[in-house]
Amino acid sequence: MTVHAYDAALFGGTVGIGARPAVVVVDLVAGFTDPAYPPGADLAGVVTATRSLLDRARARRLPVVFTTVAFAPDGVEGRVWRQKMPALDCLAEGSAAVEVDERLARRPDEPLVVKRTASAFGGTGLPALLVSLGADSLIVAGATTSGCVRATVVDACMAGYRTVVPRECVGDRHAGAHEANLFDLQAKYADVVALADLFERLEAA
């Protein structure tokens, strides 16, 4: 199906943003943002853009939630995922690899959701947390676009959250996978926008 065919088939509507969006920063932890780790990549631009987003959100007192992937020593949860992607083995509970990238300056009052699946909604306390924070929509940043970001955005849509993805604030190890998934997310699940456009939406909300 071509891009024009998608348009003709009524894909890619606009969901917008609410009055109290929560920023969910998916897995911008050392294991993914430091190329020295097996699953890592150079995501410096993504981290810088996300820090700009966080500065704006914090100034507006919007909820901010971080996630990390951290596997327990027993290795039971996430066993199949790790079998498929052995690079994830470095993401052990308590290790430096699972710590939020220090450039994002996570604050003590910003929750950290620990997950063992791709989606931040998968078997975690995130759904209840978002309710307690009074979030009416989501802004999703993080890594990777084709993996944990995509899974989180799809589940957010299924949970009834209008979701915006600022394209500068998400990244992947592979440019083709990154672009293909942004295209698909925009067509079916979320508004994929430039960060400057998101800032304009926040000012208008």
Q: What is the mean pLDDT of each run of 10 residues along the chain (205 residues)?
A: 58 90 98 97 98 97 98 91 94 97 98 97 97 98 98 98 98 96 96 97 84
Residue 190, helix vs strand vs coil: coil
Does 148 participate in catalysis according to the annotation? yes
Distance CA 70, CA 163 (A): 25
Annotated domain spans of the chain: 19-204
User: So what's the pLDDT on residue 90?
Assistant: 95
Which phi-psi region, left, alpha or beta, contains residue 106 (left: φ > 0; alpha: ψ -120 to 50)?
Answer: beta
The Cα diameter of the chain in Å comes to 51
User: So what's the pLDDT on residue 5?
Assistant: 61
What superfamily does domain 19-204 belong to in CATH? Isochorismatase-like (3.40.50.850)
User: So what's the pLDDT on residue 204?
Assistant: 83
User: So what's the pLDDT on residue 1?
Assistant: 47
| C-alpha distance from residue 164 to each of 1, 20, 68, 75, 185 (Å) | 24, 13, 20, 34, 10
User: So what's the pLDDT on residue 12?
Assistant: 79
User: So what's the pLDDT on residue 205?
Assistant: 72
Query: Tokens 């996630």 map to which residue?
Result: 67
Tell me which of 90, 148, 157, 169 is the catalytic residue: 148
